Amino acid sequence: MRPSRKVLERGLAVGIDIGGTKVLGGIVDVDGTILATCRKSTPGRDVAAVENTLAAVVAELVDSRDIVALGIGAAGWIDGTGSTVMFSPHLAWRNEPLRESLQARLGRPVLVENDANAAAWAESRFGAGTGESRMLCLTLGTGIGGGIVMDGRIERGRFGAAGEFGHMVIVPDGHRCECGNRGCLEQYASGNALGREARELARAGSPMVHEIVRRVDGDVDAITGQVVAEAALDDDPGARNLFADVGAWLGLGLANLAAAYDPGRFVIGGGVSATGELLLEPTRQSFARNLTGRGYRPAAGVVHAQLGPEAGLVGAADLARRAVTDA
C-alpha cells in the first residue's frame, strides 16, 4: 500500500477532522497549506453512517489527485498504534478499528489520531507553537480537547489517552459529564458550558442575559455557546461576563496543567476561542492567581491558536504523511 516515489515526492495528504458536529476534510501540502476542503455534518452516533461520511469526504477531495496518505483526527481516545478509537464521548465509537476499516475501503495508508493531538501538532509545526519545544494546546469547542507536544513529538501516554484535559475533575460532584464523571473542566469552560449557563440564567429570568434571549426570539432552548459568543463580540455585558467566568475556570485548569507539565506555552484554540482576548485575558488573570509557586517561577505564555478550525485536518494530514515518508 506504500505510495510510489513520485507520489511521495509531491507529498499531498488528506486530513480529516471529525468533531461532535462536523466532518471537515482537506488536501494539505508539505508546508501545511490547504489546497481544497470539504465539509459535511456528523451523522449522529451511527458508526456506519460516520464511516460512510468519511468515505464520501475523501472521494470528493481526492478525485484524480495522487495522495500519500490519509490522516483522521478523531474526537476520542486512540490506541498507541494509531489504529483503534477506544472511546469517544461524543460519538458512538467503542474499540472501533477505524484504520483497518478505512484502509480496506479506501485503498490508501491511514493514520488515526486524537483530533486535539492533531490540532496541537499543526500549531506546533505551522502555527502559534512554532519555536517552542514544550507546548500544550487546548481546543475549546463542543467539549475540550488537549494535546501535548514535547521536543518534536506528541506525548500520547502509555495507553494513548494523554491530553484529555477536558476530563480533569475540577469540581467534585459537579455537573455530570458525557464521559461518565462529574465536575470535568469541559463542563465549565466549553461551548456547551457557555450555552448551559446562559440558558439557566434565562430560565431564572435574569436580566443579565436579556440580549442573548432577544437574539433567539425568546426561545431559550435555542441558546448555544455560539449565540453567547456572537453577543460577546457585539459588546453585550452579560455575554462578556459569561466569558469571564469561562476564562476563570480555564485559567484554573491551566494552572493545574502547569504544575504537572511545566510547558513554555499554552495555545488555546477551538470555536470558543474565536472571541480572542475576551476569553484569553480573564484566562491569563486566573492562571496567574492559581499558578503554584507564582512570583518565584517563570510562567508559560497563553496565546491564541493561529490555524483556526482547520488545525485538526492540517495536523492529521502532516502526521499521516510523516508516518509514510519516515517508514
pLDDT at position 10: 58
Taking each helix axis as running N to C, give the angle between helix 191-203 and helix 237-261, from 0 to 180 degrees, rounded to the nearest 10.
140
- Cβ neighbors of 243 (< 8 A, separation 6 or more) are 194, 228, 229, 232, 275, 278, 279, 282
pLDDT of residue 86: 86
What is the residue whose three cell numbers read 508516518? 323
How high is the pLDDT of residue 9? 46
What is the identity of the amino acid at 172? P
Widest Cα–Cα separation across the chain: 65
- C-alpha distances (whole Å) from 111 to each of 19, 102, 119, 286, 315 are 17, 10, 14, 37, 11
267-320 pLDDT, tens digit each: 999 989 999 999 999 999 999 999 999 999 999 999 999 999 899 999 999 999
Count CA atoms within 13 Å of residue 102 on its CB side. 30
> What are the tens digits of pLDDT across the range 148-179?
999 999 998 888 889 999 999 999 999 999 88
Residue 112 contacts by C-beta under 8 Å, 6 or more apart in sequence?
71, 72, 74, 78, 82, 83, 84, 85, 98, 99
Rounded distance between C-alpha atoms, residue 247 and residue 165, angstroms: 15
CATH class of 5-121+310-325: alpha beta
pLDDT of 244 higher than 70? yes
pLDDT band of residue 1 (cuts 50, 70, 90) is: low
pLDDT score of 81: 79
Q: Give the tens place of pLDDT for each residue, 43-99.
A: 767 788 888 899 999 999 987 688 999 999 987 788 877 788 888 766 778 888 889
pTM: 0.89
Fold agreement (5-121+310-325, 131-305):
yes
Which is more confident, 250 or 104? 250
Over residues 249-265, mean pLDDT: 97
pLDDT at 239: 97
Q: What is the pLDDT of residues 90-149, one digit of tens each?
A: 677 888 888 998 899 988 899 999 888 999 999 999 999 999 999 999 999 888 989 999
Domain ranges in the chain are 5-121+310-325, 131-305
pLDDT tens for each residue of 10-38: 589 999 998 767 889 999 999 999 999 99
**CATH T-level assignment (fold) for domain 131-305:** Nucleotidyltransferase; domain 5 (3.30.420)
